[in-house]
Amino acid sequence: MKWTNLTLASLLTFAGACSTPDKARVLPEIHSFESDGNGFNTKNFFYDNGEEVVVFDAQFTPEIAQKSLEFIRTKTQNPISYVVVTHPNPDKFNGASVFQKLGAKVVASEKTVKALAGVHEYKKYFFVQIAKMFTEETYPQLATVDISFDKSLDLRLGNGEVIRLQELSQAGVSSNQTVAFIDELKSVVVGDLIHHKAHAWLEGGIVNGKATPEIAAWKKSLKELLKLSVVGTKVLGGRGESADVKVAVDAQLNYLTKADEVVTRLAKKDNAIALIQAEMEKAFPDYTLSYMIQYGVYGLVDSKK
């Protein structure tokens, strides 16, 4: 049988129409929202895979979380399925209820779940009784966690994609640390484990009602992160800039080494915190958010006295 050009063209057109999907695949994206100083310039991240959204960290208050929700709704209307808490600090979990009301499940490691109540009470006392920023009634309620895990969790999305959650074996900026690998975009969300080009929060984890910084453990966690990451992975931290994982880890290690040395040398001096802040600003002139030192370094200072 002899095919005419017209017949062949018609068949090709028909075949092409049959093979074209009804809806073009939307490329996955990560969006970030940064609070103002009232929320400690905290970033939370939204991973939109084209069908659903996963939130990483939930901001310091429900009001700020609501602003972050309004932000992501300017980018996508896809449903929010999960909120991953990277570590037990209030700027990571206080706003979780905003997303839970939409049906999202809050996900955290068992270590984070165990630490939440103690951190909540410690911070509530400070912000209500000392800083007078809230009253007993207005301070955010303790967050609840819907899904917990031990060392790791493959968070499976509706399309079969997996986000890999890994609890690091050592303490970090807090008493424990979860990192989230988004393989689709070769990225890892690390909370405040890394503040690239921004000053670090040196309070330490809240353990048994006391700030307990562990610089040596933090460094081990950074090195563990590097081992777990493939070359070229992009780090998304809770403050500062995104960066290549090797660059970000090396910079954070250098920062912690310097901070430990400066605090050890100055901790017992009068006006120690101001002296430490001034020296760290001089040592890292291109770093932002030096108020992190002013308010957070007390934990490391107290550990050196």
CATH number, domain with residue 97 = 3.60.15.10
Residue 18 located in a structural domain: no
pLDDT at site 26: 77
- pLDDT truncated to tens, each residue of the chain (305 aa)? 333 343 433 333 334 444 444 456 679 999 999 999 999 999 999 999 999 999 999 999 999 999 999 999 999 999 999 999 999 999 999 999 999 999 999 999 999 999 999 999 999 999 999 999 999 999 999 999 999 999 999 999 999 999 999 999 999 999 999 999 999 999 999 999 999 999 999 999 999 999 999 999 999 999 999 999 999 999 999 999 999 999 999 999 999 999 999 999 999 999 999 999 999 999 999 999 999 999 999 999 999 99
Cα 108 off chain centre by:
12
* Residues spanned by the domain of 160: 27-304
Q: How many domains does the chain have?
A: 1
Q: What per-residue confidence (pLDDT) applies to 24?
A: 62
Rounded to whole angstroms, the Cα distance separating 305 from 301 reads 7
Q: Is 250 helix (H, G, I), strand (E, B) or coil?
A: helix
Contact 199, 288 (CB under 8 A): yes
Per the domain annotation, does 41 fall within a domain?
Answer: yes
User: Is residue 12 situated within a structural domain?
Assistant: no
Which of helix, strand or coil describes residue 123?
Answer: helix
Query: Strand pairing of 187-196 and 234-240?
Result: parallel
pLDDT on residue 23? 53
CB burial string 45-68: b at 16+ within 10 A, e below: bbbbbbbbbbbbbbbbbbebbebb
Task: Please check whether residue 1 lies inside any domain of the structure.
Answer: no
- 21 assigned to some structural domain: no
Q: Does the global pTM surpass 0.85?
A: yes
Residue 75 placed within a domain: yes
Contacting residues for 184 by C-beta, under 8 A, at least 6 apart: 28, 49, 161
In a domain, residue 8? The reply is: no
Give CA separation, 245 vs 35, 137, 161, in Å.
24, 41, 22
In a domain, 173, yes or no: yes
| Strand-strand pairing, 43-48 and 29-34 | antiparallel
The burial of 244, by beta-carbon neighbours within 10 Å (0-12 exposed, 13-18 middle, 19 or more buried), is given as middle
